[in-house]
Amino acid sequence: RMACLKERIQTRGSVDDEIMQQEIRPLLAVDIIEELHRQFALLSGGRGKDGSPIITFPEFSGFNEVSDEDFVNVVKYLTTARTSRFLIGFIIILDRRKDKWNSAITSLARIAGSFPGNLQLVLVLKPSRLLQRAMADVSMRLHRDDFKLKVPIVMLNSLSDLHGYIDKGQLTCDLGGTLDYCHSQWIHHRTAIENFALTVKSTAQMLQQFGTDLAETELPNDVQCTKDLLITHTEKHDKLKDELKLAIKQGNTMLSCIKDQASKTESHILNPDEVENQTTAERLLAQLDETENAFEQFWSRHHLKLEQCLQLRHFEQDFREVKVSLDVLMETLLGLSDTGDCVARVEHLLGDLKTLEDKAQESLEKAQLHAQHGDQLIQSNHYAVDSIRPKCVELRRICDDFSNEAKKKRDILTKSLEIHKRIDEVNQWCESGVYLLASQAVDRCQTQEGAEAALQDIERYMNSAKEQQLSHLKDLSNQYEIVLSEWVKGKAQTALKKLDDVQEMFDKRHASLKKLSAKQTRPVQPVAPRPESSPKRTLPKIPHHTAPSNFFVLPFLNSHIMNELIETERLYVEELQSIIEGYAAALDDPELIYLIPPSLENKKEVLFGNLPEIYEFHQKTFLKELANSVEKPELVGTCFLKRKEELQIYEKYCQNKLRSEALWRQCGDSMFFQECQKRLDHKLSLDAYLLKPVQRIIKYQLMLKVSLFPSFSVCCICLFVYQGGDLSVDFLFILNYGNLNDLGKLLMQGSFNVWTDHKKGHSKVKDLARFKPMQRHLFLYHKMLLFCKKREETSDGHEKSPSYSFKHSLKVGPTPSEICQKGSHCYNRSYIFCQAPSMEVKNRWVSEIRKVLTSQLEACRGISEQTSLNSPFMQTQSTKKLDTNYPGENIQLPRKAKIN
């Protein structure tokens, strides 16, 4: 491009071209303007017959006074002004008609000695006076060779002689010709043309230098530098453009002046010099226009490259920003787990994934738009296509990778969520099923009606498994096997194993109940004997069994029960920790102190009870011992028996639960708890988590029931949980009773068959006794025995935690009216007959009641030890009168009022 530009601004051999080509500045009219105005030498524009230019030395009185330097400069200027075009030589006309011959000789000698150009002919107009003319003729003959001129010197006597050599049209009026010549105008035109030529030259040089600078400029590597360079180059271009326009305007003005001269009159004919001036001006303008076009083409390409460079730098900068954003999002996505251990965790992960996808949407759209922008740059023939195309490919690849990875994780999590929901449904069905099996009373199943009712419960629950399509878990597990983790698949297999085991238990129970229903056995109705005839009466005999008939033997579910026990234990410990650190510790946080409601001040122990103590016990001791029993599930009972005393901490927690709930009702809606819940990201409020210890102790009981063995060691475990762990839980749900704290320590609780008997004279037992037993749940406190009715609400066939309605109470302890001497008969007395579910339970209750009575009797003054031992408050039938294989025993309790 630079070579093209240089080529187009090359000179073309004209005068102006020579001026532009010379390295040394040439002599210009403006340099000798004063000498030119003296008019001692003229270039009028006339031509000889052969076309030689004519230089006229008109009459000039002071010619001899002109310095040699001025003379040489003027003559040199006049001869060099046309040298390039007229190499045939000049014609000199020396007009000395009014001068002396000596002056003519001197002028001719000066011309001969310093004329720089070629000469074609010298014409001398001799002085007009006769004497001077004669002297000229003689002198020329004598001194012709002295002038050292190799051209002819013609001595002319008159203008007519001159006209014989030069046509009048080529001579000015003072020489008798018709050539229109104005010396001042000639100087003006010459000056204008030379100035314009210099302007064209300097402009071309500036354009050439600017083009060279542009071509040698390295493109910047950042946006700001590229912007600055584009601005700088544009400003320089605009400045040169303005100078170029000014030069063109100058040339057009000069050309107009020359043309105006030609249009003065219709008859005016431009002389050769004027024609030459006009041609020169037009040539310079054309050259300038050509130079401008070449420069604009070069600038257009350079400006386009700068703009494309700026586009490229913007593209690269945006690419880096978008890629960094996408890389961070991709790293976050890859770090997002696709394995959840429960439904809530999987739902939380799906929520995190949805949030991440929403957050990434803007960056993904930017990346796609940026790639489209890159495509547009490529389509516009950008010079950096090889740099842009790979970046577009990279952006689309990252977007596709993110979308595919997100889709993959969503697919895995969705399938995992479906599996976990099915696992929970299976586990819930199994737990509720086991609870149903364990809660079916044997005595009710001894009748056809009871057996059929139990059978209907079994069949209904077995059908619910089909309705819920629980077996579909196996199909899902097989279908999603490739994408699911080993842990999830293992959990699904554990749930399926549990489902098979529980269904097998239901099948066995179903078969047993079918047989019982088909036998149509008579219901067993315990009879309350009269005191006087009790030795002669016996209860109906029950067939002998090696184990209590209402003690169902279930298979020990090894691995999945233990895994669930330990898994839920870990989760339980984590929940306790979150409560303590997220709520209890927050009460001492200075940042939240202004949110704490006044009703909560200094009542941390009321709200949380001994929860820290429970957490410390499970975290440091119990969880580790359960985990150590994972390989030997049969030893899990040892953990409970070993830590029987420590587990009593739950009793303290449950006793405080009512106070805690009352305090929560006062301040549960405060901003303090909302802020804590928000920080912990808990879906449930604090009161739901404060119920966890109560739910946990019930969970222990249900899980241990599933793993029950008809052995003494496991029975002890169940009795422990039943006696210790459940004590403080169930009493929380006793309705229609006042303050339970007034009754002293809760010692025992359990379900019994209860009959009432009103002793009035010798009435027949069958007329006075209720042969149909009532189901009552007894709570033995240190000061009172409560009779309650157990109520169980159901939802969708699943039993919930029971509540108890208070029905009656008996004060525990001797009073004068309740103590009878041995052998006496108390006819006006009410009795309550209680049948225990087993001999072991009966013995434990009898032993505990004896301890209470003994301790209270010893405290009663005036009552002898013999009286206390023979007290009629507790009378048990002799084991000799009962079938030793019968699972239940009767406990006779006197009372004064009829039981509702």
pLDDT score of 775: 87
Cα 832 to Cα 754: distance, rounded to the nearest angstrom = 7
Q: Average pLDDT for residues 427-456, to the nearest whole number?
A: 78
pLDDT score of 137: 62
| Backbone angles phi and psi of 59, in degrees to 5 | -60, 125
Cα 335 off chain centre by:
13
Top pLDDT among 122 and 655 is at 122
CB-based contact 827:760 (threshold 8 Å): yes
Q: What amino acid occupies position 847?
A: S
pLDDT score of 16: 47
Q: Which residues pair with 774 in a beta bridge?
A: 754
CATH topology of domain 557-730: Dbl Homology Domain; Chain A (1.20.900)
Q: Which of 263-267, 319-323, 838-842 has the lowest mean pLDDT?
A: 263-267
Asked if residue 573 has pLDDT above 90, the reply is yes
Nearest to 437 by CA among 407, 461, 405: 461
pLDDT score of 262: 63
Q: 503-562, pLDDT tens digit by residue?
A: 888 888 888 888 877 764 444 444 333 333 333 333 333 333 333 333 333 334 656 677
Cα 150 to Cα 372: distance, rounded to the nearest angstrom = 84
Nearest to 751 by CA among 706, 713, 783, 789: 789
Q: 344-397, pLDDT tens digit by residue?
A: 888 899 999 999 999 999 999 999 999 999 999 999 888 889 989 999 999 999
Q: 642-681, pLDDT tens digit by residue?
A: 888 888 898 888 888 888 988 998 898 888 998 999 899 8
Cα 580 to Cα 616: distance, rounded to the nearest angstrom = 11
pLDDT score of 707: 55
Instruction: Supply the mean pLDDT for the chain.
Output: 75
pLDDT score of 144: 59
| Backbone angles phi and psi of 171, in degrees to 5 | -120, 145
Asked if residue 231 has pLDDT above 50, the reply is yes
Q: CATH 2.30.29.30: which residues of the chain?
A: 734-869
Q: CATH 1.20.58: which residues of the chain?
A: 336-517
Q: Average pLDDT for residues 25-49, to the nearest whole number?
A: 86
Cα 54 to Cα 190: distance, rounded to the nearest angstrom = 17
Find the helix packing angle between 272-335 and 183-216, rounded to 10°. 20
| Backbone angles phi and psi of 416, in degrees to 5 | -65, -40
Q: Which of 63-77, 389-403, 436-450, 745-759 has the lowest mean pLDDT?
A: 436-450
Percent of the chain past pLDDT 70, that is, above it, reads 74
Q: In what order do the strands lie in the sheet with 119-125?
A: 54-57, 90-95, 119-125, 153-156
Cα 728 to Cα 651: distance, rounded to the nearest angstrom = 5
* Top-level class of domain 32-180: alpha beta
Q: Average pLDDT for residues 180-186, to the nearest whole number?
A: 85
Q: 719-746, pLDDT tens digit by residue?
A: 333 343 344 444 455 766 766 767 877 8
Find the helix packing angle between 343-379 and 385-439, rounded to 10°. 170
pTM of the predicted structure, to 2 decimals? 0.45
Beta strand 54-57 with 798-799 is: unpaired
Nearest to 833 by CA among 723, 750, 758: 758
Top pLDDT among 354 and 146 is at 354
Instruction: Tell me which architecture the domain covering 336-517 has in CATH.
Output: Up-down Bundle (1.20)
The three-class DSSP label of residue 780 is strand
Q: CATH 1.20.900.10: which residues of the chain?
A: 557-730
Q: Average pLDDT for residues 272-293, to the nearest whole number?
A: 83
pLDDT band at residue 265 under the 50/70/90 scheme: low
Q: Which residues pair with 154 in a beta bridge?
A: 123
The dotted CATH code for 734-869 is: 2.30.29.30
Q: 802-838, pLDDT tens digit by residue?
A: 667 888 888 887 644 343 333 334 434 566 788 888 8
Q: In what order do the strands lie in the sheet with 829-835?
A: 734-735, 803-811, 784-791, 774-781, 746-759, 829-835, 890-895, 875-876
Asked if residue 799 has pLDDT above 50, the reply is no
Q: CATH 3.40.525.10: which residues of the chain?
A: 32-180
Q: Average pLDDT for residues 869-881, to the nearest whole number?
A: 36
Q: Average pLDDT for residues 444-452, to the nearest whole number?
A: 76
